[in-house]
Structure 1
Amino acid sequence: MFYIYCPYCKEHREEEEFHAKGQAHIARPADPDACTDEEWGEYLYFRKNPRGLHHEMWVHATGCRKFFNVTRDTQTYEIKEVYKMGERPSIVAQDQNPTAAKQA
């Protein structure tokens, strides 16, 4: 078991009080009605699942019930930082795919 810091309650609580809700910082399409089925499907279903640093959205389900973001190492489960919705992370997860880095 590990503890997670809630930036709203301002205390560390047991992990059972929280639920991961997926990748953070997903931008909703500006005009959903103008999206193709493929674009809308990309937005709804396709997420990054990197090995290493990853920005995730979590909810304090049995506490304040507010959503917040976490930068977590998916290999070690270590939480690097916790920050409120609307804030930017101070630790930026880089693309872990070396092929993509070579193409950029």
Structure 2
Amino acid sequence: MSSLSTHVLDAVHGAPAAGVPVVLYAQRDGAWQTSGSGTTDADGRIAELAGDLSQGTYRVVFETATYFVASGTTAFYPEVVVTFVVEEERHVHVPLLLSPFAYSTYRGS
């Protein structure tokens, strides 16, 4: 089984994005089912959003509006959705570099 972690960084402030709610969904029989959830810590991390990912398709939803509202920032993206496929047993890290009008992500390790 694979595990999943994430890290959210605020590119505007050059700091971790603490307090971002994150929900993990797994695609099962054509439907999305909640598979895990958490909130980023003071370092912008969730060390283990899921500890037992099997092969399949997953979706991580970063609820960025919560973070931006708390910081008094007007933003274009109320959420960021990253869909990915797990094909082999290994740790999966999905980091998010965030700003009010742009974001980027990649497959980390």
Q: TM-score range by the shorter chain?
A: under 0.3
The structure in which a higher percent of residues are strand is 2
Structure label with greater radius of gyration: 1
User: Which structure has the higher relative contact order (CA within 8 Å, separation 6+)?
Assistant: 2
Instruction: Return the TM-score normalized by structure 1.
Output: 0.28
The structure in which a higher percent of residues are helix is 1
